[in-house]
Amino acid sequence: MKKQFLDLGRQPIANGFLNKNDFANEYFFNLKVGFDDETKLVSLMDFVEPTKMFNDEYVYYSSLSKTMREHFLSAAETFKTKLFPQSVLEIGSNDGVFIENFSPDNTCAVEPCGNFADITNKKGYHTYPQFWNLETAEEIVERHGPQDLIFSANCMCHIQDLNEAFTAVKKTLSFDGCFVFEDPSLLQMITRGSYDQIYDEHAHIFSVLALKNLLNNVGLEIFKVEKLDVHGGSNRIYAKHMDTMKLRGIKPAASVQMSLDAEREYGLHKYETYVKFADRVEKSKNDLLSLLQSLKAENKKIVSYGATSKSTTVFNYCGIDNTLIDYIVDTTADKQNKFSPGVHIPVVAPTEFDNTVDCAFLGAWNYKKEILNKEKRFVERGGVFITHVPAVGTY
């Protein structure tokens, strides 16, 4: 049974950037998080209707960041040389940043946001503009046959009914095929205190402990786990049919047991661990508010860097609005000249990150390296970055 451990309050759609005339009709829900003692899965207590989040107005482009372009290119190269797939299916293909590293001839993709499905369809990648479920899986097997590589990045954790999603994968995967998926790691979130990984889209935050239970329930087995730096610390999970592993005598790599041991050692199998995490989240909120208020009292101009879903959670949970943060700079054209969800801070182009800015809250703290590299001049002229991960501070 799912037991609540954290309440992040009233929250809007995390990627729902809006115009002034939409303020009155903005949708809000209560963002509460729970731990399931049986499966060990951490999930939202109440899910948001998927079409409210994933629709033709979706604004998150994976390919906008150099880090992510390089990450997916390298992933594709690795899979080509190690797994030799004859057919590739991507679930949640976004703007094609991964699938475009393969020839369109033996690929297909599923992407429920119609505006993004259009992008890859126009480039010749057969993209189904629909949600991943048993019906979609049946359609794909009928039209394209079983798939050797099923890849999904930052998408499986968005799917509310995991039993259906994993069963659909099982039915679509070829006998010797591999299911590879990557999502933010629960252990990384808990150790870094990055509670802003929690928002409407992230229906679940995965531990390997929980994934082992859920995948085993549908006849899939994890055979490798890789730790990734992207998205604030993620796990890449490799799974195969349980029967194939038995028949071929494939044993899971040491990385599987090592991940499970590390998670148990940290207590991810116990409710009490999450209660302690919730205390740390509250302290982070108080520390961040005090820091911003004291900088504001010194007449500093504070902006935010990266209009992320993560910062939607932080700003709405902490009650940080336009009185503390003047504006948010972001490279995404679809977010610019709109207002951030819930607290309605204006979002502007990066050209506004000019020399009138004294301090910048790192909304996109997961791209710290890329951003610090880009913004050397800001730091050289005395500009200060503010972060809340792993603890509230400046640098």
Residues binding ligand TYD (CB under 6 A): 60, 64-65, 306-310, 330-332, 364, 366-367, 370-371, 374
Nearest-approach distance from CB 37 to ligand TYD, in angstroms: 29
Nearer to ligand TYD, 40 or 310 (CB): 310
Nearest-approach distance from CB 351 to ligand TYD, in angstroms: 12
Nearer to ligand TYD, 240 or 310 (CB): 310
Nearest-approach distance from CB 330 to ligand TYD, in angstroms: 4
DSSP track, 170-184:
HHHEEEEEEEEEEEE
Nearer to ligand TYD, 139 or 370 (CB): 370
Alpha-carbon distance 311 to 371, whole Å?
A: 16
Nearest-approach distance from CB 309 to ligand TYD, in angstroms: 3
DSSP track, 10-41:
EEE-TT--B-GGGGGG--EEEEEEEEETTT--
Nearest-approach distance from CB 68 to ligand TYD, in angstroms: 7
Nearer to ligand TYD, 69 or 126 (CB): 69
Alpha-carbon distance 142 to 319, whole Å?
A: 50
Nearest-approach distance from CB 2 to ligand TYD, in angstroms: 24
In degrees and rounded to multiples of 5, residue 321 shows phi and psi of -130, -160
Task: List, in order, residues 6 or more apart from 379 with CB less than 8 Å away.
Answer: 372, 385
Nearer to ligand TYD, 188 or 366 (CB): 366
CB 32, CB 201: distance < 8 Å? no
Nearer to ligand TYD, 2 or 374 (CB): 374
Helix or strand holding residue 69 (H, E): helix 66-83
Q: Tokens for 362, please give them.
A: 């790192």
